[in-house]
Chains A and B, each alone.
Chain A
Amino acid sequence: MYTEENCRFTKTHEWVHMEGDIATVGISNHAQEEISDIVFVDLPKVGQQVTAGQNCCVIESVKSASEIYAPVSGEVVEVNEALNGDPALVNREPHGNGWLFKIKMTAPAEYENLLDLKAYKATLGK
């Protein structure tokens, strides 16, 4: 599965797990804690083209609505339909069954620009 250790991160708290040219995207445990109780996930559409750094998904919690940015560019090939019925999955298993969507990457090199766990954790202290 996707663990903190085998993922890379963005400064905006998304994680990416890469397998071939497919990037699975979710939000970090820190992010779900900050967002608090999630009540709705507005997922991107399958087939949608996304660009790294552009918002493509919205997570609503009892506190706020947070935009989720595509960590890498490509086409959305799958979304986590389970979140439609149970958005709290993102709170319970941010790194597991609470993943958000999968992107078929057009520029796999973008993955290399993302932060590893240590570098990501270093950004949290700030």
Chain B
Amino acid sequence: METILTHNQLSLEKSRPGRRGVRFETAQKPASAYLPEGYLRKTAPKLPELSEFETVRHFTRLSELNYCLDGEFYPLGSCTMKYNPKAYDLLSSLDGFTQIHPFTPESAVQGTLKMMYDFQELLKKVTGLAAFTLQPAAGAHGELTGILTARAYHDARKDLKRTEVIVPDTAHGTNPATANMAGYTVINIKSAADGCVDKEALQKALSDRTAVVMLTVPNTVGLFEKDIREIADMVHKAGALFYLDGANFNALAGLVKPADLGADLMHLNVHKSFAAPHGGGGPGAGPVGAAAHVAPFLPKPIVECKNGKYTLSGKMPKSLGKMKAFYGNIAVCLRGYCYLRQFDDHTLKEVAENAVLNANYVRAALKGKFNAFFDCACMHECVLSINPSEMNGVHTSDIAKRLLDYGFYAPTIYFPLIVPEAMMVEPTETESKQMLDAFVAVMEKIYNEIQTEPQTVKDAPHSQCVCRIDEVSAAREPNLRW
């Protein structure tokens, strides 16, 4: 018997022999007249046979299954899922930006170069750093750029014994991965009981072998490193460079300039802090800034302005070279440029202030049911934990899946690693109080379900197009054919 509802079927299941979207004229000659015999298929490829209408419905439906920021609340911690204004999309789709070729002469793309130059200047202004490269394609690429810049710096000073990078356990996971990828030995240090860097452990780890100390600020438990200046001094005293992971810049924008904290190098995530879309893994943009003494080692070219003309031909003899073909993901940078142009010196801090306020609002509202792991004011995100003895066997992953039933995306879970059963909630400044209240109400409802009907939560989701996925089998016996 044929299924009555066919909308959940694969295109191959919907397929009916001979059905077509467009019918082409039959070729005048057999296929062998056009292709050598050896390249001809013996059997027809297994392609879905559908009408145009069926195809449109099929893909429209699939697109509707996408959960997206433009549809609902997306509290994914450490990702800064803030609103991406549509005006930026409009501006970045202007022909002047889209219809240029990387080999177009500089004289014909002065507008784009000016935008890049002005964006570099804006980034310098908000960070206090001396120079920026726009090349890196995303945050992790920015980190690698930063660490390789640091290596070029040490190499130029013939300081060749520095083979270690120190990373606290509250850093983003990409930090140790980056250091390892750049060929360094990663030295992990444990954080102190208050979630901040353990200065004693740092002092012990620092030596004349330390090339870089990478610090995520605020760190992944959502806390500002209270002793950051002292930490920077310790790092500099050891002859190492201080790298600041700027992925959490949303908590600092307009309030603190990383250069004032002693940062020698940092990356920013344009697709997080500056409202460009997260393109489902790309493209993003991860500009890297450097203090004056490190700036000559950044990738080249950097846009310069000479006598009112913008150029990429400036000489940077100490540069580490190129980190990406051509000039970076310029359309993403353009959105970041639009974003920063909306603020002045006084208003940019409202971004950070409201991001911090919203995170603390959620933290305070959920207290008693889902407590913050570190019971103190947080920055732009709060890391909640659960008390297993109150949870009737329900885990964080179950809560995350139950949230989907209520129409919310799940927070980041099981990260940071130092927090058991972690839920990392980052509401961002662009959510209204009503949305935050709705999220809190749903979380409270789930808490009550855990007490009265825990199985409902353990079996979630119930309302999605697929029910609970068997993640264990999928990971243990992956069937990667398609």
Contact = CB atoms under 8 A, between A and B. Distances in A.
Interface in A24-39: 34, 37, 39
A62 interface: yes
Which of A39, A64, A87 has the most CB atoms of chain B within a 10 A radius of its CB? A39
Interface in B51-75: none
Contacts of A34: 420
Contacts of A87: 476
Contact of A40 (B397, B417, B420, B475): B475
Contact of A39 (B414, B417, B420, B472): B472
Contacts of B414: 63-64
Contacts of B397: 63
A88 B420 CA distance: 22
Nearest to A37: B472
A42 B373 CA distance: 31
B417 A64 contact: yes
Contacts of B472: 37, 39, 62
**Which of A34, A60, A63, A87 neighbours the largest number of chain B CB atoms within 10 Å of its CB?**
A63
Contacts of B476: 37, 39, 87-88
A60 B471 CA distance: 13
User: DSSP class of A's interface residues: helix, strand, loop or mixed?
Assistant: loop
Interface in B418-460: 420
Categorize the interface residue count of chain B: under 10
Interface residues of A, number: 10
Nearest to B396: A63
Interface in B345-380: none
A40 B420 CA distance: 21
Contacts of B475: 37, 39-40, 60, 62
Interface in A2-16: none
Contacts of A40: 475
A37 B395 CA distance: 13
A8 B415 CA distance: 29
A93 to B, nearest CB: 16
Contacts of A88: 476
Nearest to A88: B476
Nearest to A86: B476
Nearest to B471: A62
Interface in B199-247: none
A126 to B, nearest CB: 11
A70 B415 CA distance: 24
Contacts of B417: 64
A27 to B, nearest CB: 16
A64 B420 CA distance: 12
Contacts of A64: 414-415, 417
Nearest to B476: A39
Nearest to B417: A64
Nearest to B176: A67
Contacts of B420: 34
A114 B48 CA distance: 62
A103 to B, nearest CB: 21
Contacts of B415: 64
Nearest to A64: B414
B290 to A, nearest CB: 31
A64 B415 CA distance: 9
B381 to A, nearest CB: 19
A120 B476 CA distance: 31
Contacts of A60: 475
A88 to B, nearest CB: 7
A40 B471 CA distance: 13
Contacts of A39: 472, 475-476
B221 to A, nearest CB: 16
B475 to A, nearest CB: 4
Interface string A47-78: 00000000000001011100000000000000
B119 to A, nearest CB: 36
Nearest to A60: B475
A62 B401 CA distance: 14
Interface string B405-422: 000000000110100100
Nearest to A63: B414
A63 B416 CA distance: 12
Interface of A: 34, 37, 39-40, 60, 62-64, 87-88
11 contacts: A34-B420, A37-B475, A37-B476, A39-B472, A39-B475, A40-B475, A62-B475, A63-B397, A63-B414, A64-B414, A64-B417
Given A37-B475, A37-B476, A88-B476, 4 more contacts: A37-B471, A62-B472, A63-B414, A64-B415
Closest 9 CB pairs of A and B: A39-B475, A37-B472, A62-B471, A63-B414, A39-B476, A62-B472, A64-B414, A62-B475, A64-B417
